[in-house]
């Protein structure tokens, strides 16, 4: 069982995202290096700052969110966590 995290960005997200982007990327890299973040990315259509990540556990996702500079500094308006049953792996 994996956990899918979704972020909904604030309406005027770009200036805040640029300001806090380096710290956010560093946190992504930390969780990836620990093997707890499997994939992450933004949605392209429409390009509005919304994003999704897949974590190995709910606990890892909650820890990530609690200290994510995008959450802490108001880039993210809301987030969700959902359990996900992976049924096909290449």
pLDDT tens for 14-37 read: 999 999 999 999 999 999 999 999
CATH code of 2-84, in short, is: 3.30.70.1060
Q: Quote the pLDDT of residue 10.
A: 96
> What are the residue ranges in the chain where pLDDT is below 50?
none
Residue-by-residue DSSP string for 19-74: HHHHHHHHHHHHHHHTT-EEEEEE--SS-SS-EEEEES-HHHHHHHHHH-HHHHTT
pTM to 2 decimal places: 0.93
């Amino acid at each position: 069982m994996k956990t899918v995290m979704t972020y909904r960005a604030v309406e005027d997200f770009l200036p805040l995202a640029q300001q806090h982007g380096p710290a956010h990327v560093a946190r992504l890299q930390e969780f990836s290096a620990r093997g707890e973040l499997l994939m992450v990315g933004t949605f392209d259509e429409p390009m509005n700052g919304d994003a999704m990540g897949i974590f190995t556990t709910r606990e890892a996702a909650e820890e990530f969110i609690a200290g994510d500079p995008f959450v802490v500094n108001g880039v993210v308006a809301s987030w969700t966590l959902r359990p996900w049953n992976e049924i096909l792996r290449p």
